[in-house]
């Protein structure tokens, strides 16, 4: 994009119409992603899936988004930002409708993959449009406003989606977004005027395919490893070898090709290179609670979908408060924002690790809101730091890499945390079961024993269910401790970042 085009597109009040347009498109994407988390338990029962299998609808969507994200820069150059945005929003809308028609787990995963691939360019494209339309000194303010709009999706979506799913079924949470899809396509058609394209740019298919196969294989290995007993399975060994070989081919090809799929020279920029590490951490922390909390609350505490929606919405409310505070503190050193953000994430993880079987709705909502508050202090400062020292011509490709790493972080950390829950549940079930014996004096006290008994089939079944509930709760607590430790571990690296020029 030339300077003249940027000036024309970002002149006067029109730049704020552009900001509103891309905010609505990104809000649609965020709302559709988060709204599905509310109905994970309901989808699990409807499709007869296990906990790790239903998590595939999340992780495969994130992997598809990660695979499709790097191509957004080439697609924008090849077809123009306006055309790409129209096609992506329209395709994402159709894929969302198809998700509501799925009758099997395989169909739902397929439609979620399509949803991820088609929606992948929306966020990096929106970010590139904002950074191109506003001057550098306005980047923090524009990004913070964008963040305020985007967090409306995680507030409105889960709240309404929870009530809709409870009144009808999980399919309607995908159908209800269609009116917003229509409005979003219309605003993109009217306000995004950038038609500049460079059809002569060719896609590096070798790099693209090597990276795609590597990412997909690695994610399959992480997702299925716990179920298949890791490297005792031939499938896991095959996926690990395929991921390693393809990552190696991608790295070698990127360093030797004349025009690689992703330019490794971008890593020579110190802030951008370190910023990718923080993007991975940000992605990993952003969605883990939204995947773990719904199943924990419904399976262990029996919370209905409407209440789970309100709980997840409280996270969005905390994000909105944090985004407003960040917008006011635009002169704040971005590195301070990162310390606040990752520190809040770590504290919220410790708070979630204190949950027990009697956790109240208020405790969960307060913790979720605090987690969202900390999350909002990461996005804008991280964007300013990562892209503040890059030339404008490199923003399209840089945002694609940035969001690729962010989505990979989300998919990998979610898979690891779900694996921790499943593994810890199995281990602790075995440990707790050792104490179930006729020689345990607790069974001689009727007030303690209640309906639990080792003498009847019904009593054994009830006792087994309770042991599994307690073991699962320990698994969730372990995952929350891991979440907290991961957030705290990245804070010491923040001083390595340089404050970007204003």
Total Cβ atoms within 10 A of residue 167: 10
Q: Is 281 helix (H, G, I), strand (E, B) or coil?
A: helix
Identify which has the larger pLDDT, 133 or 42: 42
d(C-alpha 138, C-alpha 40), whole Å:
39
- pLDDT at position 185 is 84
- Please say if the pLDDT value at position 7 is more than 50: no
For the cut 70, the answer to whether the pLDDT of residue 93 exceeds it is yes
DSSP letter string over 298-340?
HHHH---HHHHHHHHHHHHHHHHHHHHHHHHTTTS-HHHHHHH
Distance between CA atoms of residues 301 and 297, nearest Å: 5
Confidence check: pLDDT of 447 > 70 = no
**Residue 86: band (very low, low, confident or very high) from pLDDT cuts 50, 70, 90:** confident
Question: If 0-12 CB within 10 Å is exposed, 13-18 middle and 19+ buried, where does residue 96 land?
Answer: buried
Q: What whole-number distance in Å separates Cα of residue 144 and Cα of residue 26?
A: 14
- For residues 416-440, average pLDDT: 80
Give the pLDDT confidence score for residue 485 in this predicted structure.
93
Rounded-to-10 torsion of CA 22, 24, 26, 27: 160
The position carrying tokens 């994000």 is 319
Element (H, E) at 277: helix 270-301
Structural element, H or E, at residue 432: helix 395-433
**pTM of the complete model:** 0.73
Give the pLDDT of residue 452: 61
pLDDT number for residue 5 = 43
Q: What pLDDT is stored for residue 439 in this prediction?
A: 61
Token couple for 352: 């979630």
Q: 125 with 85: CB under 8 angstroms? A: yes
Strongest mean pLDDT among 159-168, 193-202, 296-305, 481-490: 481-490
For residue range 228-275, list pLDDT tens digits in order: 778 888 888 998 999 899 989 988 988 888 777 777 887 887 888 888
Give backbone dihedrals phi and psi of 388, rounded to 5 degrees, phi first. -65, -20
CB 171 within 8 A of CB 43: no
At 188-228, the pLDDT tens digits run 887 777 666 666 667 778 888 888 888 888 877 877 777 77
CA 44 to chain centre: 19
Percent composition of the chain: helix, strand, coil (DSSP 3-state, to 5): 80, 0, 20
How far is 404 from 14, CA to CA, in rounded Å? Answer: 30
| Per-residue tokens: 213 | 């196969």
Name the one residue in this structure whose structure tokens are 């690695």. Answer: 218
Domains of the chain listed by start with CATH number: 3-203+261-426+473-496 (1.20.1250.20)
Q: State whether the Cα torsion 105-110-111-113 is positive or negative.
A: positive
Q: Is the pLDDT of residue 342 over 80?
A: yes
Which of 221, 226, 223 minimizes the C-alpha distance to 54?
Answer: 223
With a pLDDT cut of 70, the percent of the chain lying above it is 85
Q: CA-based angle 260:263:268, to the nearest 5?
A: 150
Give mean pLDDT, residues 36-61: 78
Which residue in 17, 419, 402 sits closest to 219, CA to CA? 419
Asked if 155 contacts 316 with a C-beta cutoff of 8 angstroms, the reply is yes
SS3 of 97-146: the string is HHHCCCCCHHHHHHHHHHHHHHHCCHHHHHHHHHHHHCCHHHHHHHHHHH
More confident site: 454 or 13: 13
What pLDDT is recorded for position 9?
46
CA angle 443–445–450, rounded 5-degree value: 75
């Amino acid at each position: 994009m030339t300077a003249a085009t940027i000036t024309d597109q970002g002149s006067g009040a029109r730049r704020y119409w552009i900001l509103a347009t891309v905010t609505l498109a990104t809000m649609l994407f965020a709302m559709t992603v988060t709204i599905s988390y509310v109905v994970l338990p309901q989808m699990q029962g409807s499709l007869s899936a296990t906990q790790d299998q239903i998590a595939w609808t999340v992780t495969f969507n994130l992997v598809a988004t990660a695979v499709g994200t790097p191509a957004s820069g080439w697609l924008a150059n090849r077809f123009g930002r306006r055309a790409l945005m129209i096609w992506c929003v329209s395709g994402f809308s159709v894929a969302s409708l198809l998700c509501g028609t799925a009758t099997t787990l395989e169909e739902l995963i397929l439609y979620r993959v399509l949803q991820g691939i088609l929606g992948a360019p929306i966020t990096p494209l929106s970010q590139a449009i904002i950074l191109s339309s506003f001057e550098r000194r306005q980047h923090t303010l524009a990004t913070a406003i964008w963040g305020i709009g985007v967090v409306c999706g995680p507030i409105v979506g889960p709240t309404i989606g929870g009530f809709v799913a409870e009144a009808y079924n999980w399919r309607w949470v995908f159908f209800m977004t269609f009116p917003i899809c229509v409005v979003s396509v219309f605003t993109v058609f009217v306000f995004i005027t950038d038609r500049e394209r460079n059809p002569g740019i060719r896609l590096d298919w070798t790099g693209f395919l090597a990276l795609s196969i590597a990412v997909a294989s690695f994610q399959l290995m992480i997702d299925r490893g716990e179920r298949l007993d890791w490297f005792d399975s031939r499938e896991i060994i095959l996926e690990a070898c395929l991921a390693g070989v393809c990552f190696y081919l991608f790295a070698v090809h990127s360093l030797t090709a004349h025009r690689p799929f992703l330019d490794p020279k971008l890593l020579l920029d110190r802030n951008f290179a370190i910023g990718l590490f923080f993007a991975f951490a940000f992605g990993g922390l952003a969605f883990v609670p939204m995947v773990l909390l719904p199943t924990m609350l419904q399976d262990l505490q029996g919370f209905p979908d409407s209440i789970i929606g309100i709980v997840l919405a409280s996270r969005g409310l905390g994000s909105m408060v944090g985004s407003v505070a960040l917008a006011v503190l635009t002169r704040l050193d971005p590195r301070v924002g990162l310390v606040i953000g990752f520190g809040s994430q770590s504290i919220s993880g410790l708070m979630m690790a204190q949950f027990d079987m009697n956790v109240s709705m208020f405790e969960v909502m307060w913790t979720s809101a605090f987690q969202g508050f900390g999350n909002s202090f990461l996005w804008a400062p991280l964007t300013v730091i990562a892209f503040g020292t890059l030339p404008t011509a490199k923003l399209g490709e840089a945002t694609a890499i940035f969001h690729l790493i962010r989505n990979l972080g989300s998919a990998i950390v979610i898979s690891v945390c779900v694996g921790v829950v499943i593994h810890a549940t199995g281990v602790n079930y075995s440990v707790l079961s050792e104490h179930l014996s006729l020689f345990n004096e607790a069974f001689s006290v009727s007030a303690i024993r209640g309906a639990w008994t080792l003498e009847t089939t019904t009593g054994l079944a009830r006792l087994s269910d309770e042991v599994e509930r307690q073991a699962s709760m320990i698994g969730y607590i372990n995952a929350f401790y891991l979440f907290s430790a991961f957030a705290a571990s990245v804070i010491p690296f923040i001083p390595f970042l340089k404050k970007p020029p204003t």
